[in-house]
Each structure stands twice: as structure tokens, then as C-alpha cells.
Amino acid sequence: MNTTRRDLFKFVGGSVVGALFTPAPWRLVTDTALWSENWPGIPRPARGEIRTKFTHCALCPAGCAVRARCVGDQPVALAGVPGHPLSHGALCAIGLTAHHLPYHPSRLKQGPAGEAAQAVSAAISKCGPAQHAAVLDLRPGRTASWTYRRAMASVKHGLYLAPPSPFGGSVAFDLHQAKTVLSFGAPLLDGWGTPGNVIAARENFRLIQAEPLESRTASLADLWLPIRPGAEEALAQAIANVLADGKPRSPFAAQTGLTEQQITSVAEELAHNGPALVLDGGQIPAVMELNRRLGSLGRTIVARRETPVPESWKKAAPVTNLASVPDGSIRVLLIDESVMDAYLPWSMIERKLVPDDPLVVTFAWSRQGYARHAQYVLPAAVYPEIFDDIPPAIDSVAAVFRIAAPLVEPPAGMVNPSEFIGGLAGLPAADALRQRADAIHQAGRGTLFTCAGAKSVPVKEVKPDDFWKALNEGGCWLDAVDESGAGHRFLWPANADDEKRSSAPPEDLPLVAITCETRAAAAPLSPLMSKLYQESNLRLAANHAALNPATARACGVGEGARAILRTHCGSAQIEVSLDSGVPPGVVKVAAGPGIMDLCGASARAQVVPA
Amino acid sequence: MDKEFIARGVKRCSTPRFLLWILPWLSLLAFGLYSAGLCLVKGLNQTNMDNRFAFGLWIFLDLTVIALGAGAFFTGFLLYILKLKELRAVINSAVVIGLVCYSGAIAVLMVDVGQPLRAWFTFWYPNVHSMLAEVTFCITCYLTVLAIEYLPILLRNRKLREVPSFLVFEHELHKLVYVLAGVGTFLSFFHQGSLGGLYGVLRGRPFAFREGFLVWPSTFFLFIVSAAAVGPSFILLTTWLVEKISRKRLARPAVLELLGRISGLLLAVYVLAKTMDTLIWINRTSPDAGFPAAQYYAWRPFGTWILFAEIVLFGLVPALVMLAPWLRRRTGWLVSAAAMACLGVALNRFVLTVQTLALPTLAFDKFLSYWPSWQETGTFLAVVAYGVLVYSFSFRYLQLFPEERELKAEVRQEKEEELPAMAGRY
Amino acid sequence: MIARYGMTIDVDRCTGCGACMVACAVENNVPPAHQGANDRKGITWIRVFQVNNGQDYPNRRSAFVPVLCQQCGKDAPCASVCPQQAVEIDPATGIVGQMPERCLGCRYCMAACPYHARYFNWWDPAWPAGMEKTLNPDVAPRMRGVVEKCNFCHGRWHAAIERAAANGRSIQAVDYVPACVEACPTGAIQFGDLNRPESAPARAARNGNSFRLLEKIGTDPKIYYRSTKDWVHRISSAPAPGLGKERSRG
Amino acid sequence: MKHRGKIVFLAGVLAALGAGWIGFPYAIYQSRPQPVNFSHKVHADKAGSKCEDCHAFREDGSFAGVPSLDQCAGCHAAAMGSTVAEKNFIDQYVRPQRQPPWAVYARQPENVYFSHITHVKLAQVKCERCHGDEGSTDTLRPYRQDRISGYSRDVWRGMKMDDCVACHRRQGLEFSCLECHK
């Protein structure tokens, strides 16, 4: 008997019927469904004991206290520390996601450290008489800054540069004393000073925000004065006039775009509802004059003592304001951008370099910043890997000392800027922090706050080793407030770039570009920040710009259009969105390093379709 | 070469010509399957749907296709339950169309869900309150019914008849046909309704939300009526289309007219009901939810014209045409009226699916726009191609139109001699 | 019902900093955006919208409104529509739960939700190399093709129960705060049990300045918004076409 | 012959039944030996240790599960007995400070949240109730996991969701999915 095709069919048919009465098909159906729960590509979070570590956030000068939730030793979530005397439990979006930074895709892994060191010493020896080898420290006042200054003191042609800062840095704005605060575009409620501290003080003062754009701060201020772009100085003058002789002088009042009545009422409020405080973004002399006239100096603007340093460190190079360095005089420039208070436009730095092949070395976590302009880019550890202290923020009245203790071990091949620069002068920089801590302990002033128990103890009652240990576990030293500060002589701010402001609007740059989101340009952002910049448009993403529909029409661009933004420093591509809340003639552009190089805080600009 | 498969007494075109005809459809199907495959392998990021436009072209297709496929159950209902013998002429064709529409709809649904591997959960852990669960159950059940109804047609194929057991089986099945028709009708009534309920229950979408009787919103019943109304129209349309393409007379004009009359009648009922429902919704349901109805039509491009087109232009007008005997008698009028009726229902499904999602619900929402990606469109076209192919094969090898043979005899001989070239595109 | 967790959000205090959004993503293992994602394909369990009074410069006034799952009452629009019981309301907490492992991704619930608080995983979750080490062990990552949404940080609720059990306290109506509440630097978001009259949301519910989104459609949300500005109250009602354009960012 | 067709059909049925009931249950699992031939029995009898000595709770109430190496090394820094298993353990793991890659029989899927403390401490559920008498076994049986879903075999027998639900239902403690899922 031979098997026919029909037999085959019968057999198959039979086995199909039979199979239905076995677990096999049903189990397979279930299993495939279960497989879809854990198919390749879905990570399994590591389990383990949940521990808590404390540190301070080094991403901005606020240096907020951080409580890290760790699985084993790996931080999986960051949060603020409630009851902290400075940050009051607040932590911003950038700080909350900082534990992702070590794994950032665009993170630098290695760099030519040795090669750079040779190149630097070679270049230093080539320095001419009027030329310098300089360190640009984008967060002055740190222990590392002292190392740089000591190094530069002993290095030939050495120069220590810091960004322009109000009254040379030793001054604080005391919001808790103020009853009325007039802010000229200072992002008071969007990352200014120590956010937690500002919020804590917010209940007690009336906020008047004078600013062309309805920024976050403006929308939350008690009063928003929508002034013309660049009219800050004029308004300050006008208010000064009112305080002096009862009414604003016409030229200023007209320039501000406000009514005289508005200006007068603001001036009266400042005068009668004191203590007053006038803040501004880019230090304007007129504003400081206003503060003096309102008697803010010594009341809401107070001197802050230096955090103690070892005597042996005092022989250090002076702090030189970058703006006051003659152009074309720096042959070697070492930029420490591993931590950054604010991003300075490259043009501001570039013109200080010698024209013939200057050497620029930068310590960076990625290539996004000044690395774009440097010959040597050395990979630096990024918070929360770094071991560094954070100088007091602009709104902290007392001197403080807190350490960003590493939560994660930095990978191999990272270059420590202070060891590198200290090395140029043969300085051991490794235990500088410890020395500083001991110096503070010797001074014996102030109190130590420990996060674990959220309690403060006088430094005198703590042993040096415990002090150091506490600092490494997120402890924070607060100086006793200096009463003698009232008699402090305030040195007037060096006027940074007034030629730009005074010059008449050039015909080809009809618009004013105002940058927002400037903190995003200075601090590294976790990939998760896409929630704010990409998956929602809560914040304007880098290189995106908002225009008033009328302005956009005039420029020939529409919603979502790509366009070119031109300023006197060059041009960049932007993506346009329309917003009738933006004043006509203004480009509200979100800062990335590229845009900052282009516009700084604000600049004359032109928008043309790409 | 495939002569022995083709039914006796009917003429079909030569194999090469048939291949020529199916070739473009096959290629379209292939392309469609490719795009569907992309969606299955790479995920729904291949589509242009998003969190706010969670449903798109595919759901619209499903609703429309199932409405058009309603002809299958409704003709069955009229023929076997109400004993309208004339409809025997088109019942087979209706069954094939139903099968095509329903299987196509289910296939697309399988692509549309994010996790097809878990689709069976609906049967294992059903949520009895969910209209979608209701739909899934009824559609799958009814698809099996249709498959069983299709079997006898298939088995009556000339070649398959040679297997004696098949013949017996077919005969047995045929006795079931009344039961099947009954079950099918019940199931269809139900899921056509639940498809309507799908949107009617969305209290979060006041544009779609409707009050109703018992657990069912009014759209539940509207969908049943509209589907029943448009089903015959679609059969009418397809029959006419096949006649045109195949250059054959397949059913007597009387049959088509009857279909038209039924369609017209139900369409009239539907338009009436729909109008009442709309008025209640505009004046009560929607305002009660805090949504003044005028607001919906202030978002361009969906002005009140869409309401007018849906109810009057593609509802009332075709209904009247199909109800007026003197117009109905003119094939042109009849067919175009049927076409308009189909369009009207399609438009209604479009409004319910697409416009509902495009309209904002929160005060700070924007009006949304959506355009399907090529992968979505491809999958859509695959269903169309699949339908045409299944129908073509069925038409070529099975007896879809029992009257065809008699009608062929009636056809005058010389006509065939006059233009032999044109004889039988199929 | 043992507990009825709810929230009150003070719109006047919200600075729109976005801390809640990222804290939520960190807590619940929501991945960073796929490069193809935008504000309509991303996943933000809580999303802060910038709304304004509909006027132009210089009369434009803006406010920030965090919108998360409104945790509707017993007839939540999403719960009844799910074909396979992937959505349910927990009688013990009043939280509207979403089960990604049960979900087949039909997205019917998303069409049903008037608050757009439900999000679909259009891509498989992906973290930059090494970043998966920072995932929260208390929350399982979701897979492509399923819907997810805010569940008041259920991982934290579980942890709170374990802590209570360890300390011999009652594990019913435990005290805990979701990540967004903890992260909010201005304390604009407050969380609590609506069944306890003294809890923040319960007090907010009685507060005259409080409103809920689309109250009239009868979803009975458990998120109470608060503002002293009249125009802000307008966001609680249906959209108005004229104002609709340029009414919001975020 | 007349019944031939039926016989062939039946043959098919039987073949399928055999494959489905006997072959399949083996084929679906892949088996993996445990890193160390650990004897619960020895530790329970000789060392007189109780479950919670090694499988302890942490202060926050979470369950430590399989002890980490240093906990083992606490006793086994040097060989205590003369067994080969212990020698291997010390050579391969204690000295190199390498965590043994234990495969946890009862490891639930990632999306399952199971609180040991609520069950053990509050509800007084015995370990054996779910884990069987693992504590008295003398060797560790090989770990068998489903080839497709990747889940442990023990989950399939007695630790499925249905089993949890059944017990909770008896206690009237059945609330919601997220009660036990994360």
C-alpha cells in the first residue's frame, strides 16, 4: 500500500485536531504575549539596597543641596534637601536630572593631556613682553580658583581672568531685607541666585519687572513694565529724575515706551515702600546710581566676607576682569568650563587673544562650548563626578563653603583642571579642598549644617576631621553675618560694552534679538530635558526663536519656518515660531552656545528666510 | 487552462487576460503588505498618528468598510427571514463582499493595535462595559458565520464538487443557511450598533457623545439603520460595476430596483432619525456638557457644510431618488443615488472618527490636523486590493450570480457575434 | 473607599520651571525623547502648559498650568472603554490605574480622555548607553505599543506601604507624595487624601478660588486648580474658537 | 481496506497528542545549573541558621532576597568544612570577590511588585507557602526558564498571577492591578 496525497492531508488534519487537545498551542500563545513584556531592548532596572547620599549641585552658582536616592552606589534620583538654610529644599529641572550627565551621549571620553601640557609650556616660553598666559575661570571664588591664581602668580606672564561681576564679586543682594524689588530683566524667578532662597523671600517683597519680553519672571511679577528693548538705562535715569525732582526728564521717559505716570508711580513705590532693591542683568551704572540714591547700599546690597583661605595661599595672582584686559594680549588661554556660572560670548574672549596663532586649551565635559574654538580639548569630569566647592551665590549674604562631593566615580582618562594648571607651577592641588576646610575651621566662625539631620551646629564644637567628613557628606558651612559690612566701599561696576548700546541702530539690523534660556547654554543638560524642550514646548529649544506675527511677516518667515539670524558677530540658523506676546521688532531666541556667541544677552539682529 | 474550474454555462475571459487584470491588484497588495509589515515590525511610529490623533485613516476605514459590508447580513435577513426571493440573485455576491469587508477590517485592526500579540486578551479578560470588546466579539463571530456561509458557495465550484464528501457537506451546510442568516443578522445588528456606540459613549468628547436608551447611545441605533440602509446600496453598486467591467448581465433590473427601494426606504428613516438626534445633541446634550455646538463648526475647515453634506446632500437626496419609482427605473439615477448613499455613510464615519479627534477639548488646546503616512495609506490600499482580488477569483470560479446563466441565454446571439472581441472581459 | 488621593495645584505659584515634568520622568522610568518625537508623540505624564489671556503684547498675561491625569471619579471616560480591563479605578486609593502589560495598544482610552493625559509608546524605550543604570527599580519600564499615564507615583505608594509595614504602622491610606509634588520648588502642587478634610486638596476643594478642568462633562476629577486671576478660571471651560488660536504654548 | 482513512487520521491525532503532552513541556524550558552547589539543609542543620538569617529584611522594609557575597564570606572566608562545593565556592567567588550569578527560582517578572514584609510580617504567611520546602533541600536543582517568555519555571507552577489572585480573593483582599504590579 502506498501513501497518497489524501492520506497526507488526513494525517495532517488529524494532528491539527489532536494538537488542539494538548497544552502546546495555548502555551505558545501565552508565551508570545509574555515575550512582548520583555522583548529585546527593554532594560531591567538593577535592584538593590536603597541608600541616601547628600551633595551640592555644581551646575550653577546656586549650589543647591541635593539628596540622592541610590540603588547600591548608583544614584537613580535627585531631590532637594528640605530645611536647608540656603536652597530651602528647591532643586531645578536641570539639577533634578543631573545624575544622567555621566552617560550623556555627547560626553568627552579622552583628550591629549600630555600633548597639551607640552604645548602650553612651549607657548608660555614664547610669550612676548606685553603678552600673557592666562587662565579664564568661569566660576571664580572656588578653591580651584585659588589654585589657578597661585599657579598664575608663579607662572611667567601669568594672568588670572574672571568674567565681569558686580562690584568684584564680594557683594550680595539681600532679598529678605527688600520690600520692593525693581528688576531690569533679571530672571529673578527663573534661576537667578539661589532659586529656593528667592522663593522663600518672594512672599515679603513686591516685584516690579522692567523687561521688553513677558518672561517667566515678568508673568509672575506683581507689576510688569513692558519697556522698549535696551531702554533699561533710560528707565533707570527717568526714575532717578523722579526721585530727584519729582518728574522724569522727557528724553528718557520717551525712550522707555512707558507713560510718565507709570514711571512716577514706580519711583514713588521704590522711595516710599523701602527698603528697595534695584537689580539688573548686565551691570548698568545708572542702576547702581539708583540703588545708591534709594539707600540700598548697605541695606539690601551688602558686602560679603571672603570664605577663609590658608595664609600660604595669599601670595596669588589678582583677579583680573576679562573686560579690562587689553585686546590681542593673550597668547595662551586655559579655559576651565568644567563648571560655568554663565556662558560668555566667544567674541568677547576672542578679541583678547593675540592675532598670531594663540593657544587655547579648554577643560570641558563636551565639545558643545568653547571646545569649538580650542586647539586642545581636555575631558573634565562632570557633576556629579566632580570634587569641587561652590562659591556663595549672588543672593547669599554670608560666606559659605559647600562641596560637590562625587556621587559617581569619574571614568578613567579625565583631566582635573586644577591639577593640570597647578602642575604648570608645580603646585600640589590634590588636597586643596581639605586645606581650605581646615582654614575655615581654624577661623572658627559660623555654623555647620548637616543634611542628614537637617541641623546646624557652631563650627567651634566640631573637630577638624568631623568637619571635613561632614562637608563630604553634603554638609554646608555658613559664615556668621558680617555686621561691619555696612561701611564697605562699593567699587562701581566697570561698564562692559557700552559702545554697542550707544551706537545708533544700523540699517541692516532692524530687529533686536533677546536671548532666553541662557542657563541651558551654560549648564550641561540631561537627555531627559527633552521633556521640556522637545516633547513639550514649555521652554524654547536652543536655536528656536519666537517672533511677533507682524514682525515675522515683515521678515518673510512663517510658523515653523527655518530662517537665518544675523548679527554683527555672524549668523546662525533658527527655527521660527509665531507668538503675538513677543513685542514687534524683537526676536526672542533661545540660547545655545552658538546663539550666545552671536547675540550675547541681546543684540541688533536681522532675520531672513533660509 | 483553468476551464474545468469555471462554472458550466457561463463565460469567463481567457486566463492571460485574467492574469493581466489581477496583476496590478497583486502588486498593490504586495506594496500594502510591505507597509503593513513595517508597522508591525518597527511599530506604529511608522504612522502619522500621535497621542492626540490616536485614531486615523485605519479606524475610519474599518467603520466605513463594515458599514458597506452590512449588505451581507441585511440581504441575508431580507432573503431568508423576510423571504424576498428576488434577492437570491445577489445573495452570494453579498456574502463574498461581506467576507471581504469584515476580514479586511479585522486585518487592519491587527496592524492598528500596538501589541497584536496580546489582542486575544480581549477574549480572555473582556471588559463587558467596553463597546470595543463588544465589537471585537461580534465581528469575529460574524466573520466565522460569513466563512461558513461562504463555504457552500466555494464547494459548489465545479472542480470541488467532484469530491463526493464535499458535496454532502455542502448540502448539509445549506440546510443551516436559515440559522446562519438569523445568527448573522443578530450579530451584525449588534456590532454595527457597538461600532456606533464606540464614539457615542465618549463623554470626554462632547462632539461625539450622545445620550441614548439603556446602555446604548443614540449612535448605536443610527449606525444600525445607516448600515442596513447603505448595505443594499453597496451591493447594487458593486453588481452594476461588475456588470460594466465584465460586460455581462448578472441580475435583472428588478432586483437592483428592489435593492434601491429598500435602501432608499431605510435611508429616509435614517435621515429622519439622524436629524432628530442632531437637534437633540445641538440643543441639549452638547450644551449640557458646557460645549455650545456652534463652536464645533467654527474650526475651519469643518464648517456647517459638513453637517449639510452628511444629512441632506448625501442622505436625503439619494433617499428621495431611490424612493421615486420613475427615477429609480433609470439605472444612471439609481446607481449614482446608491453611490451617494455610500459616500454619505462614509462621510458620517469620517466625521465621527477624524473630526472628533481634530476638535479641541481643553480651553488651551489647538485645532489639530492629521495626514496619513504612506505606510498607513499603503495598508489601506492593501485592503482594497485584497477585496478586489478575492471578489475577482470568486466571480471567476464560483457562482456569484445564479441568474447569470438564464440572462445569458436571453441575450441575443448576434450581439455576441457583433463584437466577439468584447465578449467577456472576464 | 479607604483613601481618595487627589491634588491641588496653585496656578499662581507655578513658575513653569518644568521640575515636575523631569522629576516625573525620572521617577517613572520614562525614556528621553526619540529623535522623531515631538510634543504630540512624546511622553510627559505631567505636562506644564503656558496659557495666556488671549491678548497680544503688551497686554498679554501668561500663567502656567501643569496638566496630569486628572484621576477622574468612578465613571472615568477611559476606564469603561478599555476592551480588556487594562484600565481600572483602585477602590483603595481612587487612583485610575493603567496596566501596560495588559494593554494591547488600541488607544481607545486616549481618544476618550478629554485631558490628553494618556500617552502611547510610539517607540521602544531607549536610553543612552549606561543611562539605564539610573532607572528606578520600583517602576517597570514599558514596551513599545502600549498606553501609559500618571498613576500618582505608584512605586512610591508601594514603598510607603513597605515602610509602614516595617514600622508596624497601618498600611491603609499611607502617607506619601508623588515625585512632582516633591520636586515643585514653590510648593504649587500639593497632594493628599480627599477623604481627610484637613488635607490640602480637601481644603482646596472647598476653596472659592478652586476649579477643575471641564467639570461640566461630569468626569469628577481629583485635581483641583487654584488661581485668583479671573481669566485663568476660563481655562476650566470649553475652548472658544476665537481665543483658541495662540492661546497656549507648552 | 475500508477504514484506512480513519486510521491515518487517528494516527495523526495520536502523534500530535504525544508531541504536545510529552515532548513540548520539556522542549519549552531551557535548563541552567546554579553557580554553587549550595545546601540549604546543611546550613539549616549544622549552622542552625533560620531563613531570615540570610534572607533578611532591610530597615525600609524591602526584602534583601539572595544574600550578597560578603554575607557568605562572613563565615566562609576560609573553608569551614571539607566539601568540594565549599572549596569551589571559595576559590571561584570568595577569593576573587566575584558575586555568584545566582538564578532566582522565584524571580517574578519585572512588572510584578511583591512585598515580602506585608506577607511574612503582617499576614504571617510561611515561606514554604510559596517557595515550597526549598529550605530543607540538599542541593540546588538546575534553574529552568521558559525559552520564549524567559520566565522561571517555578513561576509557572504555583506562583502565577492566578495563584496570587486566588489567595487574595479568599482573604477578600483583591483591589486592583497596581496593587501588585509596578
Going B287 to B290 to B295 to B296, the CA torsion angle's sign is: negative
Asked if B120 reaches chain A (Cβ–Cβ under 8 Å), the answer is yes
User: Which DSSP letter does residue A556 get?
Assistant: T
User: Is the distance from CB of A532 to CB of C18 less than 8 angstroms?
Assistant: yes
Indicate left, alpha or beta for B410 from its phi (over 0: left) and psi (-120 to 50: alpha): alpha
* CB contacts, 8 Å: D118 with chain C: 161-162, 165, 171
Q: Is the pLDDT of residue C244 over 60?
A: no
Beta strands in D102-170 (DSSP E): 143-146
The reply to whether residue D115 touches residue C161, judged by beta carbons under 8 angstroms, is yes
The C-alpha cell at B33 is 503588505
Q: Which residues face A607 on adjacent strands?
A: A565
User: Which DSSP letter does residue A409 get?
Assistant: P
Q: Are residues A249 and A141 in the same domain?
A: no
Greatest extent of chain B over all pairs of C-alpha atoms, in Å:
72
* CB contacts, 8 Å: A29 with chain B: 120
The continuous run of DSSP H or E covering A29 comes out as helix A23-35
The reply to whether residue D117 touches residue C162, judged by beta carbons under 8 angstroms, is yes
The reply to whether residue D20 touches residue A17, judged by beta carbons under 8 angstroms, is no
Q: What percentage of chain C has pLDDT greater than the value 70?
A: 96
* CB contacts, 8 Å: D181 with chain C: 99, 101, 140
| Residue A10, Cβ density class (10 Å: 0-12 exposed, 13-18 middle, ≥19 buried) | buried
The reply to whether residue A93 touches residue C22, judged by beta carbons under 8 angstroms, is yes
Residue B336: name the closest of B317, B352, B349 by CA: B317
Q: Are residues A332 and A372 in the same domain?
A: yes
**What residue ranges define each of the domains in chain C, with the CATH number in brackets?**
5-249 (3.30.70.20)
A105: number of Cβ within 10 Å:
11
Q: Are residues A179 and A296 in the same domain?
A: yes
Which residues 87-146 in chain C show a CB within 8 A of chain D?
88-93, 95, 97, 99-102, 138-141
A214: number of Cβ within 10 Å:
24
Asked if C123 reaches chain B (Cβ–Cβ under 8 Å), the answer is yes
Å from B40 to nearest chain C CA?
10
Distance CA(A534)–CA(D85), nearest Å, equals: 56
Å from B271 to nearest chain C CA?
27
Distance CA(B269)–CA(B226), nearest Å, equals: 9
The C-alpha cell at A259 is 507713560
Helix (H, G, I), strand (E, B) or coil at A359: strand
ipTM of the complex: 0.91
User: Is the distance from CB of A564 to CB of A610 less than 8 angstroms?
Assistant: yes
The reply to whether residue A38 touches residue D150, judged by beta carbons under 8 angstroms, is yes
* CB contacts, 8 Å: C139 with chain D: 182
Q: Are residues A193 and A203 in the same domain?
A: yes
The reply to whether residue C185 touches residue A37, judged by beta carbons under 8 angstroms, is no
Asked if C217 reaches chain B (Cβ–Cβ under 8 Å), the answer is yes
pTM of the predicted protein model: 0.92
Length of chain A: 610
User: Is the distance from CB of C55 to CB of A546 less than 8 angstroms?
Assistant: no
- Three-state SS string over A30-61 comes to HHHHHHCCCCCCCCCCCCCCEEEEEEECCCCC
- The chain C residue lying nearest B363, using CA atoms, is C239
Length of chain C: 250
Domain boundary among A395, A425, A455: A425
Return the amino acid letter for A591: A
pLDDT digits (tens, 9 = 90+) for A286-340: 888 899 899 888 889 888 888 999 999 989 999 999 988 999 999 999 999 999 9
Domain boundary among A61, A80, A103: A103
Q: How many angstroms separate the Cα of D182 from the Cα of each of C31, C85, C147?
A: 16, 16, 14
Return the amino acid letter for D153: R
Q: Are residues A233 and A299 in the same domain?
A: yes
The continuous run of DSSP H or E covering A18 comes out as helix A5-19
- Kindly list the averaged pLDDT for each block of 10 residues, start to end, along chain A of length 610: 78 91 92 91 91 95 95 95 93 96 93 92 88 93 94 91 78 92 93 94 95 94 93 91 84 86 93 90 79 89 89 91 91 93 90 92 93 94 94 92 94 93 89 94 93 89 94 93 64 51 67 90 91 93 93 93 92 93 94 87 90
Distance CA(A596)–CA(A343), nearest Å, equals: 7
The continuous run of DSSP H or E covering A547 comes out as strand A544-547
* pLDDT score recorded for residue B168: 81
* pLDDT score recorded for residue C250: 55
Name all contacts of B75-84 with Cβ < 8 Å and 24+ positions apart.
B75/B231, B75/B232, B75/B235, B76/B149, B76/B180, B76/B181, B76/B184, B76/B185, B77/B181, B77/B184, B77/B185, B78/B262, B79/B181, B80/B177, B80/B178, B80/B181, B80/B182, B81/B178, B81/B181, B81/B182, B81/B185, B84/B258
Residue B68: name the closest of B400, B401, B404, B391 by CA: B391
Q: Are residues A207 and A291 in the same domain?
A: yes
Low-confidence ranges of chain D (pLDDT < 70): 1-2
| Residue C32, Cβ density class (10 Å: 0-12 exposed, 13-18 middle, ≥19 buried) | buried
Asked if A35 reaches chain D (Cβ–Cβ under 8 Å), the answer is yes
Å from B360 to nearest chain A CA?
17
Q: Give me the residue spans of the domains in chain B.
A: 12-259+374-408
* CB contacts, 8 Å: B117 with chain A: 32-33, 35-36
Asked if B113 reaches chain C (Cβ–Cβ under 8 Å), the answer is yes
Å from B45 to nearest chain A CA?
15
pLDDT digits (tens, 9 = 90+) for B76-94: 888 888 888 888 888 889 9
| Residue A549 counted as domain residue | yes
Domain interval for residue A145: 104-170+304-380+415-425
If one counts the domains in chain A, the total is: 4
| Residue A329 counted as domain residue | yes
Length of chain B: 426
Question: Quick one: how far is CA A121 from the chain centroid?
Answer: 31
**pLDDT tens-digit profile, chain B (426 residues):** 677 788 777 788 888 999 999 999 999 999 999 999 999 999 999 999 999 999 999 999 999 999 998 888 888 888 888 888 888 888 889 999 999 999 999 999 999 999 999 999 999 999 988 999 989 998 899 899 889 888 888 888 877 877 777 778 888 887 888 888 888 888 888 888 899 999 999 999 999 999 887 778 999 999 999 999 999 999 999 999 998 988 888 888 888 999 999 999 999 999 999 999 999 999 999 999 999 998 899 888 888 899 999 999 999 999 999 999 889 889 899 999 999 999 999 999 999 999 999 999 999 988 898 999 999 999 999 999 999 999 999 999 888 888 887 777 776 554 544 444 443 444
- The chain A residue lying nearest B51, using CA atoms, is A535
